[in-house]
Structure 1
Amino acid sequence: MVATNLLPLAGVVAFGWRVGELLAVYWIEVVVMVLAHSAAAMFAERPIDLEDRSFYIVGYDEDAERDEEVWGTPAEPIQLVSWLPPIYRRNARVVRRSLGVFVFLLVPLLPVGWDALSYLTPTVGLTALGVCGAQVAEVRREFLAERAYEERSPYMVVEAAQRVVFFYFMIGIVTVTAVTFGIFAVEAAIAPGALDEIAEAFGVEVLLLPYLLPITLAKATVEWGRRRAFREDDPDGIATWFTGEDPRREWKKEEESADDW
């Protein structure tokens, strides 16, 4: 998985790929993931349980939904088509609130501005179609094919996507700050003018590689962590971040404790 995600670095060095195009594909992938999870949240059957949480998605806090009666009454399913499970109208408010996460997704575009449009090339578009298909297929496998929507609340579904967004957001902040400071510190202390010489000899894209490396490693971490979170009942390490705070674990522990007694 790490090797696969490091292939874009080889493409930049050996085949002249543009770093901006790769980052555009990564950004589109995250956007599609958020939208796919938002759609999947409409099928979730369980009510929201926000008690004793340490992480809240955008639009929620420790007091949200606690006093609303809508989650204490049986949900009314709406069958749109026969080949899909029913959706629930009450889930729409969760999805609507959670879409505030796009504020964080727009942050990477601010320093680029309208220049971001220059990276929407036919190659990026074709790749984006593949990314969209992969994300939709993954969400379908996790939530629909495995019938996970029967045991999850809409909050739990959108939380899975938002944890990925916040992970990338923090990695991006740390990467930009640390790499920029490191590059200019090294140039000032050891080799003044080296950046200009490297850019002239190898192209500006080479100077962007130190930014791309942490992001590609972060992407590999996300894929590995999400895979473990999905396949294992009690994952540990970084996978616990992508697992989320699932109240069903507490219910299971309480049931096991009761059985032991």
Structure 2
Amino acid sequence: MSEIVTIQDPQEWIPANVSDGQLYVKVNQAVGVVKLSNLDGHLMQLDNGDWGISAEGYRACNVVAGIPTITPDTMKLPDGREVCNPYIELDPATGTADKFWSHKITVGKSALGGLVVSSATVLLDIRVRFARELMQKIESNRDAGKLCMSESLSDEEKRSGIFIPFQGSIGVYGRHDCTDTIRVIQNLISNKEHGDKIVQTLAWKSSIKQQPSMPPSKIRVVNGSASVLVVGYKLDMSLNELEAISKEYKETGLVEGAEVLETVSTTSEDSHENAEFSLLSTEGGTRF
């Protein structure tokens, strides 16, 4: 269904019909109304009931915006260590992946045409995500487990469940014979196997959603869909120029002539993100 966009100086714009919307182009700039659908995985509902745009939704928006992504070979962690990108930390007790880090940079333009460099460093902590998911299950099903201290568990409970500490000896306990707990454990295993791809998807999302040409992260959804305005600019930059931007940002934290936006976060705000869905296609941005 086509939509009409009200813009300044419409005589300078040329309308072009596109699927599920209307696209207007002007020399080096385009404005499009993108229809996002919950059924297509474009949207996600937050804990407070508000609706946000998922990684897949931002990829749909990026079909219009055309914002390129830089993935530096290395990254600096908040503790000052320089490591490969993405970076995986192992659990010393099990030898399996425990934490995943990723760093992404996107390069776009502001409403006035100025260069905007958006940097995002994201941590996916498997242990914290597992504890969070299990606590959510326990809130709705007390048979799934409980919040407790490790020393309070009986020998039988230790044999028939799993305990994950998150603050000293305080942690969350889940029972193996509960279907809800089994599903959370399955997610834990999946996150360990695919965590590097998931964290790269979420770092890309965290970076691109800061770009001024993208719609607000929280939007109004009616009957499972929302129409958002996206601005695209023609960015004539070669791979070498993008790599030069990445190098300058890494060395100085700045990029000459550009506005630099930075964020460092965990994935807790994206607990409802269907990251696996975001790996399916290539339109609108790279799948990692």
Please state which band the TM-score falls in when normalised by the shorter chain: under 0.3
Normalized per residue, the structure richer in strand is 2
- TM-score w.r.t. length of structure 1: 0.26
Normalized per residue, the structure richer in helix is 1
- TM-score w.r.t. length of structure 2: 0.24
